[in-house]
Every structure is written in C-alpha cells, then in structure tokens.
Structure 1
Amino acid sequence: MPKKKTTKTPQRPGTFTIGRARLERISAVEGIETRPDSRAMFADFDRRGLSDQERRSAILEKHKRNA
C-alpha cells in the first residue's frame, strides 16, 4: 500500500498557502507591486525569526490609526 503524502503544517480542507514570491508574481499580473519598505519589513521578520502572530502584531502596530 503506498504511503500517504503528508505536509509539515496541517491544512484546513479547501485551503492552501502560497509563498511570498508567488504572491508577488500573481499581484504583478494585476498591476500591484510590493513596496520596497514592505519587502524590507518582511526580510527583517525573516531575519528575526518572528512567528506568524508576531508578524501580524508588528504589521497591525505599524498601520494602526492614532485615535
């Protein structure tokens, strides 16, 4: 009996995740470009090894409105 293919991260049925490079290529077709400061921010996240939640928090903090 063949082995079942497994993934590193569990996925919900009907969903999948694409990487940053593929997202940029898809966005380019739609005329959307990632700004250089955003690329630098994501590179910094990678360098610092931030978790998904830490990345989301940093992005929200950067873009939140000063009320």
Structure 2
Amino acid sequence: MSKVTKQRSGPSGFVLGRQAFARISAVEGLVLTPGMQADFAELDRAQADAATRRRQLRKRYAG
C-alpha cells in the first residue's frame, strides 16, 4: 500500500535579505560599490516598489 502525501500549494523556498546576499556574493568576489549602496539606500527611503526599483537600476546600470 502506498503512502499518500499532501502537496503544499504556493511558492517554496525563502528570500535572502540584502546582507545575507552580500555575504554570499563576497565569497565570489562580488561587492557593491559605494554608489550602488547609495542607490539602494535611496530606493529604500523612497519606499519604491519592485517594478520601480528594477526600472531605476536598469536605467542606471544596463547601459
């Protein structure tokens, strides 16, 4: 007889915070410049939503 398991609905996993991501990236030699840190701080102060953050960062860094 097989065991029946209930699957959870919704996303799995977890979200890393900025500091945790920075520590992991540092292992690979990737660091944010002071200018990039200032950009993120400004977006935090403005309480920008995800779409606005992506748009602003793409505009500044994607060439």
* TM bracket (short chain): 0.7 to 0.9
TM-score between the two structures when normalised by the length of structure 1:
0.70
Q: Unaligned 5+ residue runs, structure 2?
A: 1-9
Q: How does 1:1-67 map to 2 (within 5 A)?
A: 12-13=11-12, 15-65=13-63
Aligned pair count reads 54
Q: Unaligned 5+ residue runs, structure 1?
A: 1-10
RMSD of aligned alpha carbons: 1.5
TM-score between the two structures when normalised by the length of structure 2:
0.74
Residue identity over aligned pairs, in percent, reads: 33
Shift of 1:36: 0.8
Larger Rg: 2
Runs of 4+ with deviation above 4 angstroms = none
